[in-house]
Structure 1
Amino acid sequence: MTRLDVIGNVSKDVTRYPDHRGSTRLGGAALFVTLAAARAGRPAAPVCVLGTDLADVPQAPGLDGIDWSAHGEAEGPSTRFDLRYDLHGELVDVRTDYGVAERLTDHALAHVDRHPGSHYHVCCRRPLDTAAVLDRLVHRGATFSVDFFLPSAEDMIRSAAPWLNKTSTVFVNAAEYRLLQAFTDTAALPEVVVTDGPRPARVWAFGQQAASVTPPSRTPREVSGAGDTVAGTFLAHRSRGATPAQALAEAAEAAARFVTAPSFPIPAQRRA
């Protein structure tokens, strides 16, 4: 089975909720998409840059199913996200320090040149130069899917628009889907997965609804990473021949388990 190489960030995340939930934990879209794909049985590797503070993440408990051969390391702090949610799990504010992820674009482009035969998933988030990466993937004839992050989605969807009809799948939430419709012809896209919190998730194929699944009702500990879990799980099942409806049902169930599970702690740095 072709490995899924996930271009994006692995980060330190701080989450906050009005009811005093929240934690400091290991996060990042590249981590969560990769982990979900690996748990669903597909080989997967994060294409990321880790700073010195997260250099020990590849040896962290619970992450041994991930292929870490595509990550890079750099001196300096890793990406940090401070995420504030409302009681409904909607993101209301995010503060970011990108740290060594400023080097992600160069790392990703070099990786694509070395491994054009991989299937790629691109987490279209700052500071990645999304246009440069997607252009390189198309130029190399690679297959790829993409997702977005609402605070930067308008800029990123606009940047990605010329290449979106080359994707295998686009993952968005309901608000991002409206932006996607504003910047591209969604009827030209082979597959779009739209999540909407506790409301039905849907798959659209060339503008026609191909599947709809209502997520299981669970009380979440954390919502950050749920969409990434949907993406990784969906891609893993589709790669094995599952229908859109089958893959979406598996993805919704995996996301429901993810949001109720304990978070991954940030591993302690080894002493020199």
Structure 2
Amino acid sequence: MDRLAVIGNISRDHTRYPDRRGGELLGGAALHVALAAARAGATAAPVSVVGDDLAHIPAQSQLNDVDWSGLRIAAGASAAFTIDYDQEGHLIAVAADYGVSEDLTGHALAHIARHPRDRYHVCCRRPLNVPAVLEALTRCGARFSIDFFLPSAAHLIQAAAPWLAEADLVLTNAAEYRLLEQVVQSTAASEMAQGTSVGQVTRTLRGVVVTDGPRPVRWLLHGRLLAACTPPYAHPEEVTGAGDTLAGHLLARTLHGDSPAAALRSAVLAATRHTAAPRPARS
């Protein structure tokens, strides 16, 4: 089975809720996706840059399943995020200090050049230069999937537009999906107004997974419903990383050859377990 290389941040996260839940934990999309994929049976490597303060994480026993060959340790501080949620777990605000992850783009491009046959997942978050990474993946013919983060999604979905149709799978929440539709429709209207043919950006996307809180998670294939799964009820204790956990688990089970319905059902359950009884690694 292909190695899943996950391009994105590993960070120190501080989550805050009105009822005083939350606290300090080790996070970042690349870690959550890779760890979920590894626990679901894939070989998963975060392609990330961390500082001296997180140089110890490959030795943490709860992270033993992760392939750390794509990790770069740089002099300086790791990325740090303060994330505020409301009582129901809806995102309110994010404050970021990117630290040494400012060097992530160069590290990711070097990894792609060395390992063009890896299967890639790109966590489209600042400070990554998303167009540069997606162009490199497309140029070398790599298979890849992508996701976004709502605070930066409007900008980065637009930045990713020329390569959206090349992705095997685009993972979004409901709000991000609406932004995705707007970008695709706007590009189509612009090309048609200019008298040009509708290009690859405006073709129906190969695959899109849409989460929507307690409502069914939908997997669309070329715009048609392929599979759906309603999350079981669970009182969320910590929602940070839930979408990333679903993404990593889904990608791993797909790589293992599970059917879309089975892979989605398994991934939804993994994400629910993550929110209901999280045991995050401490930074």
TM-score class normalised by the smaller sequence: over 0.9
Q: Which amino acid aligns with 2:26?
A: L
CA distance in 2, matches of 1:228, 1:105: 20
Structure 2 residue aligned with 1:195:
211
| Moved beyond 2 Å, runs of 4+ | none
Bigger-Rg structure (1/2): 2
CA distance in 1, matches of 2:111, 2:120: 11
1:113-141 CA deviation, whole Å, 9 max, x = no partner? 00000000000000000000000000011
Helix, strand or coil at the partner of 2:23: strand
CA distance in 2, matches of 1:263, 1:72: 22
- Is the 1:187–1:208 Cα contact (8 Å) retained in structure 2? no
Structure 2 residue aligned with 1:248:
264
**After the TM superposition, which of the residue ranges 253-262 and 124-133 deviates more from structure 2?**
253-262
CA distance in 1, matches of 2:246, 2:147: 11
1:241-261 CA deviation, whole Å, 9 max, x = no partner? 222211110000000111122
CA distance in 2, matches of 1:165, 1:241: 22
Deviation at 1:187, TM superposition (A): 6.0
CA distance in 2, matches of 1:2, 1:263: 27
Structure 1 residue aligned with 2:231:
215
Helix, strand or coil at the partner of 1:134: helix
C-alpha RMSD of matched pairs (Å): 1.0
What is the percent sequence identity of the aligned residues? Answer: 55
TM-score by length of 2: 0.92
Helix, strand or coil at the partner of 2:236: coil
Helix, strand or coil at the partner of 2:110: helix
Deviation at 1:218, TM superposition (A): 1.1
Structure 1 residue aligned with 2:278:
261
Deviation at 1:191, TM superposition (A): 0.7
TM-score by length of 1: 0.96
Q: Which amino acid aligns with 1:262?
A: R
Q: Which amino acid aligns with 1:212?
A: A
**After the TM superposition, which of the residue ranges 240-249 and 229-238 deviates more from structure 2?**
240-249
Helix, strand or coil at the partner of 2:164: helix
CA distance in 1, matches of 2:221, 2:203: 8
Where structure 2 has 5 or more consecutive residues not aligned to the other structure, the ranges are 186-201
Write out aligned runs for 1:86-165 (5 A). Answer: 86-165=86-165
Structure 1 residue aligned with 2:252:
236
Helix, strand or coil at the partner of 1:192: strand
- Is the 2:148–2:176 Cα contact (8 Å) retained in structure 1? yes
Deviation at 1:61, TM superposition (A): 2.1
Q: What is the number of equivalent residue pairs in this alignment? A: 266
